[in-house]
Amino acid sequence: MDKVTDALAWLPAWHLVNEITRGNLSAETLVGATLERIASLDPQLHSFITVAGEQALEQARAADAAVRNGQLPGPLHGVPIALKDDIWTRGIPSTGGSLVYRDFTPSRDAALVERLRAAGAIIIGKTQLPEFAMWPRSVNRIGEEARNPYDPRRISGASSGGSGVCVAAGMTPLAVGSDGGGSVRIPSALNGVFGLHPTPGSVPDQGTFSYSPHASLGPMTRDVRDAALLLQVMADPQRQSGDYLAELDRGVKGLRVAWTGNFGWIAADPRVIATARAAAFRLTEAGATVEEPAIHIDDIWPAFGIYTRGYALYEPDVALPYVQSQENLAKCLRDPELLMPGVAQLLQAPLPSAAEYREAKAMTAAAQQQLNRIFASHDVICSPTMAVVAPPIPAGWAQPYDDDHMGTHYTSVVNVSHGTAASFPCGLVDDLPVGLQVIAPAGQESIVLRMCRALELIQPWSTRPPLRC
């Protein structure tokens, strides 16, 4: 890669938009440099399932023509973006990470993709994930496993691992993931990028494989301002809690932070806890009050699967997730040998009974009440995002963690409580990234972004992983 390609790789999207719209940089040059970097790095990191090079270059030329003709640019004009491959894209294969859909090229865009294109973003490709986002490693039967750019012998996290890798390695400035239990925040933490889980329902999710009433599509970036910019485009204007960009630099003076290292029950690496705690307490330098109250939030994992699968069955006016639809089940179970081990079993598993759902709902409601008691006196809760740094890639299809929580110890309670949270890259342990999770009640994305922006100013994050590959 030449110096121009390398320099462009690390510029934030908001800066690139300014340069393109002022005529100082062509979108075609930027997209060409992006494709060159992907060609150089992705054979080792495997973050993409599909690279849409020709389509992207065509879009870039149109973006440059618009600038020359004086057309009003969109907020993402000419900037390449990668999308997790559970999001449908017109004219670009959309596999959901499954051989069942390897030949599926949608005739229409997902609602989110329509918004991105209207804003001027250029879809550069589709990123790696586990089949239908159902596994804690970004691996499937279509392509190689997405690998961590800090150490390619380690996992990238899931289920938006490919998106995390391509942003961390400077292949794209922006990516989109989906988060139904931590799947934006987990790979953000493990790959050392910023990732935000918006309030479920705030970002349109029509036209995706992994829709869940507890999930949201969310931005993954190296820069908090980029995340605010991307969320401003992604979110339904009727569901936005404010102008994310305008409020980003309001600061955090007077806001109250509650720190917890373990929610009262999580067994985490003490070094990870210490690294995240040190970052949280640095918010005092920006004027926030950081306290360490006694916090216990019940482990909702025993109820998580029952609650998330039963929600659409037993709650009125909730759409059935696509993966549970008769259309998808019939297609998948016609050739179950195409599925990853365990996925066919999950798809065929009996749906929870009404009694089982009521019990799971009660458990999650108790956890919600515990969170609400903390939010009654604090604006955000800070915790580690993960209990460990990125684990080594295990053999075969084994899961990489020591217990059955799939890495979601700290994250899944946010989903079932329908809140919002981000993972901020806050340090290294054994030369591997650690994330600080910042949690707020539903609709409070602006406060989460402000907190993370304040911390970014105090503790800038090095955005260049060692790429030992």
Q: To 5 degrees, how large is the angle CA 53–CA 58–CA 63?
A: 120
The answer to whether residues 193 and 220 touch, using CB atoms and an 8 Å cutoff, is yes
Q: What is the pLDDT of residue 462?
A: 76
Mean pLDDT of 420-427: 98
Q: Nearest CA to 424 among 446, 445, 449, 388?
A: 449
Q: What is the DSSP string of 279-308?
A: HHHGGGGGT-EEE---------HHHHHHHH
CA 397/CA 133 separation, integer angstroms: 14
Q: What is the pLDDT of residue 5?
A: 75
Provide, rounded to the nearest whole percent, the portion of the chain with pLDDT above 70: 99
Convert the pLDDT of each residue in 258-277 to its tens digit: 999 999 999 999 999 999 99
Beta bridge partners of 440: 420
Those residues whose C-beta lies under 8 Å from the C-beta of residue 402, and which sit 6 or more positions away, are none
Convert the pLDDT of each residue in 168-200 to its tens digit: 999 999 999 999 999 999 999 999 999 999 999
Beta bridge partners of 51: 125
Convert the pLDDT of each residue in 289-337 to its tens digit: 999 999 999 999 999 999 999 998 899 888 888 888 888 999 998 999 9
Q: Which two tokens stand for residue 312?
A: 């659409």
Convert the pLDDT of each residue in 112-169 to its tens digit: 999 999 999 999 999 999 999 999 999 999 999 999 999 999 999 999 999 999 999 9
Those residues whose C-beta lies under 8 Å from the C-beta of residue 47, and which sit 6 or more positions away, are 82, 127, 128, 146, 156, 161, 162, 163, 165, 166, 169, 171
Single-letter code of the amino acid located at 449: L
CA 310/CA 404 separation, integer angstroms: 20
Q: What is the pLDDT of residue 348?
A: 86
Q: What is the dihedral sign for C-alpha 233, 436, 194, 156?
A: negative
Note if 446 is an active site residue: no
pLDDT band at 1 (very low <50, low <70, confident <90, very high): low
Of the listed 47, 94, 98, 183, which one is catalytic? 183
Q: What is the pLDDT of residue 319?
A: 81
Q: What is the dihedral sign for C-alpha 271, 262, 197, 358?
A: positive
Note if 26 is an active site residue: no
Of the listed 26, 47, 159, 383, which one is catalytic? 159
| In the chain, where the domains are located | 3-301+356-458
Residue 241 above 80 pLDDT?
A: no
Q: What is the pLDDT of residue 469?
A: 43
CA 418/CA 224 separation, integer angstroms: 22
Convert the pLDDT of each residue in 8-56 to its tens digit: 999 999 999 999 999 999 999 999 999 999 999 999 999 999 999 999 9
pLDDT band at 288 (very low <50, low <70, confident <90, very high): very high
Q: Nearest CA to 214 among 181, 240, 177?
A: 181
Q: Is residue 220 classed as helix, strand or coil in its secondary structure?
A: strand
Residue 364 above 80 pLDDT?
A: yes
Note if 138 is an active site residue: no
Provide, rounded to the nearest whole percent, the portion of the chain with pLDDT above 90: 89
Q: To 5 degrees, how large is the angle CA 354–CA 442–CA 305?
A: 30
Single-letter code of the amino acid located at 334: R
Domain 3-301+356-458 adopts which CATH fold?
Amidase signature (AS) enzymes (3.90.1300)
CA 339/CA 361 separation, integer angstroms: 30
The answer to whether residues 216 and 201 touch, using CB atoms and an 8 Å cutoff, is yes
Q: Which two tokens stand for residue 60?
A: 């870039």
Residue 375 above 90 pLDDT?
A: yes
Q: Nearest CA to 198 among 444, 383, 379?
A: 444
Q: What is the 8-class DSSP label of residue 41?
A: H
Mean pLDDT of 435-459: 98
Of the listed 84, 98, 126, 412, which one is catalytic? 84
Q: Is the peptide bond before 159 cis (omega within 30 degrees of 0)?
A: yes
Convert the pLDDT of each residue in 56-105 to its tens digit: 999 999 999 999 999 999 999 999 999 999 999 999 999 999 999 999 99
Element (H, E) at 257: strand 256-259
